Structure 1
Amino acid sequence: MKKIILSLLLSAVIYGAIAQATQEYRLDTTATPVSNSYYSHLTVIDGRMNPALGYIQTGAFNTYRILTENISLKEQMTELFLKTIDNTAKDGNLILYLRNFSFAEITKATSEKGYFSFAADLYGSIGTGYVLIEKMDTVVVVKGLDVTKKMLAESSNFYKHFIASALSKLPAGSEILSTEDIANTVTREKRKLPLYNVDTFTNGIYYSYETFKHQQPDYTNFELKYAGDMPMRISDKTTNKKITNTKNIYAIVDNNRIFLNTVKGFVPASKVNDDIVFKGYVNVNADQKDALVTSIMFGAIGAIIASSNNVELHDLMLDYNTGKFISAKK
């Protein structure tokens, strides 16, 4: 009993230390000015679905530290932009719509991997409106024995290059948007997707988020059998044979009920406040994608889960852009 109590106390101490360990994130705002920029003004709109910056590992014992913004990313990004132009800049305006800016580290026996995830849309002014210049959605991977400093430096270098290269680019798209349109990107983009504009969903088996969001099922000749409210058997209506290869199924809709495929089977989902939400199982192993997603969703505790190859039940929602499962706790 004493051992159990000691173990519980130790766990509580470790959890508390992890929960409280933070480190401020700062962009390196030193810059070499670019001459003849088309733009001299930048507005940053923070559209991150999850504003968590993620975490790093520091010290000899790889202590997890949650990254924080004492100075907002918007202010840091604007400061760097102003240092990247000079007095030859023309009077154009840029709007950066930030979708993701986050970090994760995974430690293995003899090495570490660091991940910096960045997603943003950049618009340039034309008259009183704005036209897309560039969309970016990428993950920068850093490897080594100790990747923290290098990963943080790479995030600054990446953003510096992203902004500096945009200064000589003119908008090339055809859709002209207002500042309000860009600020309401989530609503504007969802209105283009049938999934978010119907109350009655189309029956069928969907093999990808692409077909699911467009409500164009890949297969409709099926039947579900239930145990209570949960689907237990999927069969082909023509042959009455059980469909056993379910790993390739993304979602099923049956009589207006949505079921999403997780690592522990299908779970019910519903549309709430213009989001598809559900309680789902997440396979949080330590490969690149799962580690990154886990860190964004669950912070430092997620990192521990990731390193233990565990499966956990969480409140989730769909990222309407990618169809990935993300935390419903914004």
Structure 2
Amino acid sequence: MKKKLLFLLFSNFIFAQKEQFIDLRQNIKDKKHFAKSLTLLDRREDKNIGIVSHRKEPFEVKFEKDDLEKLFSDWFVEDNKVQGNIQYYLVLENLKVNDIPTERSVMGHLELKISTFLKRNDHYYFLKKRTISKDYPQKDHAYITRAIAARISSELANIIKDSYTETGLNSPILETDLGNYEKIIPENLSVYSSETFTDGVYKDYKSFAEQKPDKEFAVKKNKDGVIRGVKRVDGYDNLGKDVYAIIDNGIAYKKTPVSIIEIEKDNDGIFIMASQEEIFPQYNSTPVIVGAGAAGVIGGLVAAVVIDIAAAKIRKKNEAYYRIGIDKLTGEYILPENFVKPR
């Protein structure tokens, strides 16, 4: 009798488990009406998201429906009554939440990895990728379960909306290769497969990865051959245009808010050696001109910014420098664990 009672109580606890739903109601409208459809490709081995606690009470985090492909398709159709002809795919690679014990209580943790592709002629073209690993301490969040669910929802909506304006890396893959896209696509990008770099000015990471410099711009130097910025080839120095990198005499440079830094290459990919002050000038009390690219895309190669490679080399004497990788698919910084990004 006691065993039956315990079983019933345990069963009631399971069925009474509280749930925190991930709300897919943020607007994902394609304002230019290029998108024809959005299809979810759920590539997770374990479909269970996990349990996270609010005030010691466990909540199972989950989507509102089990049929995720229909759930996401309906979400897209609801916001896109007028449709185009581009098929978009959202790949859900990892989504997990859990409790992490602390000295006094527990904090929530979120792991999320998603990517987007467009499909053309039975091939997939990479657009964007997001990877998140974040802790949610009790002291920072009034309701951890809601905060985590809201973050998942916003990240899904944001990557979808951001993908509408992406043209995609020109490295098509088959659907059977989606599980290994992070390895296959870079192998077909010129910046990784070629022995040398192509001189020129690159407006974004896509053009840099494919080694297709912007023909409207050229590297600007002084009479001593020192790089001073970029210039228009037609003679008009309208330099408000953001650029990602410049290559001169086969040497690639990345612009940070305070200097340009040589891009190096090894078996793991491309990287720069930089200090925290060069990437996030908030660490430095000296006033600096901050461009558009502390997070990756760099801007502000304007005439007012003096770029001196000789001075950049001397900088290594008095700073702590870190290997900062450059993501092979997005061009964003891969910061080392001890390199703290300011909040």
TM-score by length of 2: 0.43
TM-score by length of 1: 0.44
Between structures 1 and 2, the one with greater strand share: 1
